[in-house]
Amino acid sequence: MRGVGTGYVTSPMADVKHWFHVLRKQPDFKDRVFVDIGCGEGHVLGRWAKLLKTYNIKQELAGIEFDRRLLADGSAYLRRDQGGINARLFWSDAAHFEYASFGKPLIAWMFYPFNEDTLRDWSTACNGTDVWVVMNNPEHALALLNKGWYMQQSLVREWPHNSWFWLWNGGHDE
């Protein structure tokens, strides 16, 4: 198995495109840093960057990955196959990353990232940073809602396996 937690599986690109179009309609979309939590081989970052280019939108991109080998693969993919996409990649534990260091509000992308305890630690690490999170795990969404996050929108295609959620922490500390 590659990766940590549930193992490495890339997000469906149709879902990336759907949420890009939902979020880009928000007034402060371009002012947020897009952060792929568990960026793996960089496919979500590559797709997001292509969508930004298509709509002539400038937005900072970043990826956080705990597995060094996946991060190296992602860096190579973005450089080689995606025309040198400018994304900052970090080898780090996402649950203990300093999200405030971006100095801007964030869009966090999560595709079955980790267990609920780690998710709660991640939420705490986001304290003081305005974060939208797009995720596809109903248990994770519930855990964040229980911590005071706000449901912005959901997309339920086939419960629970193909269900997506957009949540917001309100930009406050827990």
**Which tokens is 156 given?**
């339920």
Residue 156 to residue 171: CA distance in whole angstroms: 26
Per-residue pLDDT at 46? 93
pLDDT in tens, 2-12: 444 445 456 77
Q: Could you tell me what percentage of the chain is helix, strand and coil, using 3-state DSSP and rounding each to the nearest 5?
A: 35, 25, 40
Are 81 and 43 spatial neighbours (Cβ–Cβ below 8 Å)?
Answer: no
pLDDT in tens, 102-140: 999 999 999 866 788 888 899 999 998 999 999 887 778
Instruction: Tell how far CA 31 is from the center of its chain.
Output: 16
Per-residue pLDDT at 28? 94
**Residues with Cβ within 8 Å of residue 147, at least 6 apart in sequence:** 120, 123, 174
The residue ranges of every structural domain in the chain are 33-93, 114-174
Per-residue pLDDT at 12? 77
pTM metric for this prediction: 0.89
Per-residue pLDDT at 123? 92
DSSP notation for 76-142: HHHHHTSS----EEEES-GGG--GGGG-S-EEEEESS-S-HHHHHHHHHHTTTS-EEEEE--HHHHH
Per-residue pLDDT at 8? 47
pLDDT, mean over the chain:
86
pLDDT beneath 50, residues of the chain = 1-6, 8
Residue 77 to residue 41: CA distance in whole angstroms: 7
Residue 164 to residue 153: CA distance in whole angstroms: 8
